[in-house]
Structure 1
Amino acid sequence: MRWWKGLLTGVVLIALIVAGSYGYWRYRMQAPIALDHSLIFEVSPGSGARQVIDRLAEQGVIRYRWPYQVLAILEPRHVRQLRAGEFQLQPGMNGWQLLAKLSSNDIVTYELTIPEGWTLDRMRQRIDQAPKLTHETRGMNDEALMKALGHGDQKGEGRFFPSTYRYHKGTSDLDIYQRAYARMKKELEQAWARRSDDLPLDTPYQALILASLIERETGAPEERPRIAGVFVRRLERGMRLQTDPSVIYGLGKAYDGSLSRADLEKATAYNTYVINGLPPTPIALPGRASLRAAVNPASGDSLYFVAKGNGQHHFSATLREHNAAVQRYILNK
């Protein structure tokens, strides 16, 4: 019977060792990780469990590798679910919470804002400088960019919707352009479907051009339908639009910050003091309010407007009234 007692003692000892080891392992997994500050930790695509565990230890996130190595052996499903990407880790997390974070969709997100009224050139500069993107379009001209997007038959100006776009590290800059293009296409289609009757516009693209003029003329949302009304009535009467932002756009880098009489007389495709009708392309990236104003202009009789110097405009129905407003708000400053 002694051998039974010996066997039993051995079994008990093994059980105690296993139970103690298991308890200590659970203790280590439930203990706070080693971080004393927040940290962005990256799981590279294709990383295996051992590589991730090693990097966690090397970056001081965890004190011991072995609890996670044991888990990878005993419960491999916990480490198979690790996702590639950047994760924001916080002090006080325990081992289970750490693994749950690295297996989640809670990947660090970056934001890129394109303001309304920017040109495509400024948008491209902003995207080229955006961190964490994979830059595939740097060095491309606008024609090559549109071709890469599958729209080589279109001019790029005005085709991208100004908004805030979110992305993860490694996202291609082409993805930002594709989303902005698709968003503008959708917004323009929706605005065009709700357009007023009898507009002097034949296509959605003409509405996009008009919206860009409205966008550049005023930053006051409540004025946009009134600005649109002036432009629409001038188009209907065969009057030139005579809008300074289009002249400035046509001058390009030659614009020095102020418009001279020579600038207003210079023959460019965008000089609406010289050409009839709309310019050939948009001059900026219009937002939703300008798109809607372009196809739903305010009624009225005003044909002119002048900046009052406070972000708003004075509207006039006659040239005499307009000249008086110019004298008051511009020449008498």
Structure 2
Amino acid sequence: MDREQDELQFLGIFGICKESFKIIYNWRKIFSQITLTLILPLSFIFLAHIEISNILLNRIIYNENILDEKRGADSAARDVITKEWATYWLFKAAYFTLMLIFGLLSTSAVVYTIACVYTAREITFKKIMSVVPKVWKRVMITFVCTFLAFFLYNLVAIVVLIVWFVANGTRDSAAGTIFGFFLLIIYIIGFVYMTIIWQLASVVSVLEEMRGIKAMVKSKKLLKGNMWMATIIFFTLNVLAAAIQFAFQVLVVSRDRPTFGMIGRIGFGVLCLLLLFKLILFALVIQTVLYFVCKSYHHENIDKSALSDHLEVIYLGDYVPLKSKDVQLEQV
């Protein structure tokens, strides 16, 4: 990242994407190592989860249909279905655990790498992998706080939905339908807003002394004035991710559509895997570049020497975060 920080505030959406591509290309060796170690397994787990979940769920539905046809089935058949449901939910739990671990590790590795690029520090894959477990703890705390915030948000949404359903009752009124659609739009906007804050808060947790709720509050302040830009980037990346997932389900997972044979399905599966891990890497780099853009927009210039010392403290293992006054210059 050879731009000065006071220039970063003028980067728009295309400028951020161009800067992200440039960083990945110039440091392609180190990013390739990070991808093969962390992001590739993350992508494989995500796609494999879709295939395995489909197989397990289809088997459960098939067995339940047979059980319904044989109303006099013994308890042994019901026990089999119960065990299959238990296997399904255990698999889901293992999937979310692995996704969380590799997701947070990937975020920590990419953010730390770009910070080293920004401060012109020497970067080696060994150094990054030794730092990631230390930084991961801070990102994990932020994730837990975000998870609780999402839990409360969805709980409130469920309560509002119940109240709306009770108030609307069985009446099929146009006003009630429009109001329900309005509530859905508000829910989606709030969900996207919180997700963007969480993504930037993960970067804050690595590069500043804040974590958890403080990191989320800091992220919210940084996004002021740049929320529309961040939303467009978030929406575009998620549309691309959804397109890859849809293609994988249609071309690889689905059994109802014309197939291309086993070799064809494997080929499309590999193609979706390649596209997905490249998209994940690009998204992680973008959210880190966005952090520096937001800092520049609010005139919160980061002292490169102080940030370099901060990164060195992390690498040495005695992780004592720097104070804001040490990392961040006074506002211009």
User: RCO (CA 8 Å, sep 6+): is it higher in 1 or 2?
Assistant: 2
Quick check: which has more Rg, 1 or 2? 1
Normalised to the residue count of structure 2, the TM-score between the two structures is 0.23
TM-score under structure 1 length normalisation = 0.23
Q: Which has the higher helix share?
A: 2
